[in-house]
Amino acid sequence: PAIELQVVDPTGAGDSFTAGFLTSLVRSGDPVEAAKIGSATASYVITSTETQPRITVDNVMEKRRRQYI
């Protein structure tokens, strides 16, 4: 299911999705889990006014997993 959030700026959403997806895929080998992590990573970026929010995939995975996954 989609994560419902207030979009502030979509800049970087695709790049952050790709980073989260690939990092998770390499770590877990599970493409479904990787897609969830990619979506969670992108969801964090689109809610920020910063063009380069200081995030790591591990931080996003933990934060969004507790909220949505």
Residue 30 falls in the annotated catalytic set = no
Catalytic residue among 9, 15, 30, 58: 15
Residue linked to tokens 């931080």: 59
C-alpha dihedral (49, 12, 39, 63), degrees to nearest 10: -40
- Return the sign of the alpha-carbon dihedral for residues 6, 10, 53, 38: positive
Q: Annotated active-site positions, please?
A: 15
